[in-house]
Amino acid sequence: MKLRIAPIRLLLLDVDGVLTDGRIVFDSNGVESKFFNVKDGHGIKMLQRAGITVGIISGRESRVAANRAAELGIEHVYQKSLDKMIPYRDVLEKTGFSDHQVAFMGDDIIDVPLLRRVGFAAAPADAVADVLPHVHFVTKNRGGWGAVREVCDLILKEQSAWESVTAKYFLP
């Protein structure tokens, strides 16, 4: 695991089923809601403080997801990406990173081509069963319930960045 995670410089995330629990709620006015986990958001911020870039590649387009990405300072946001390899190639070109420097977390079969390409592939505990043979790590938590935080913490710990990023929380 350490050999796969050591070179990671970019974490890409799916939205529905990864950053959220997969539910999409529309009120009577057609306004969309999604539920994000604050622990996942804090994990993303800690990764960013450690110098790791975070991006989103989602098959759906959602203003809610764009708002959450903006709130977290995620600059690489690709939505309505039915072929996730297209934005993946774009983000590699923009960042200069290579496949072995990228981690991706997905939960459904649309994510498989990208999961098979990156250096470190992860899925939440409730991912579609057909995804699991294509990942290196399955979280204990479900999507939207801290699964992203697990991956963030794992990357920080395997790269020996955990102590420096979290030191201020453990001061006497």
CATH number at residue 12: 3.40.50.1000
**Mean pLDDT, all residues of the chain:** 96
pTM: 0.95
Q: Mean pLDDT, to the nearest integer, of 10-18?
A: 97
Q: Is residue 13 part of a domain?
A: yes
- Phi then psi for 108, rounded to 5 degrees? -140, 170
Question: Is position 172 within any domain?
Answer: no
Range of the domain at 158: 2-162
Distance between CA atoms of residues 79 and 87, nearest Å: 9
Is the pLDDT score of 31 beyond 90? no
- Domain assignment of residue 20, yes or no: yes
Contact 104, 122 (CB under 8 A): yes
pLDDT of residue 85: 97
Whether residue 32 has pLDDT greater than 90? no
Return the pLDDT at 7: 98
d(CA 130, CA 74): 29
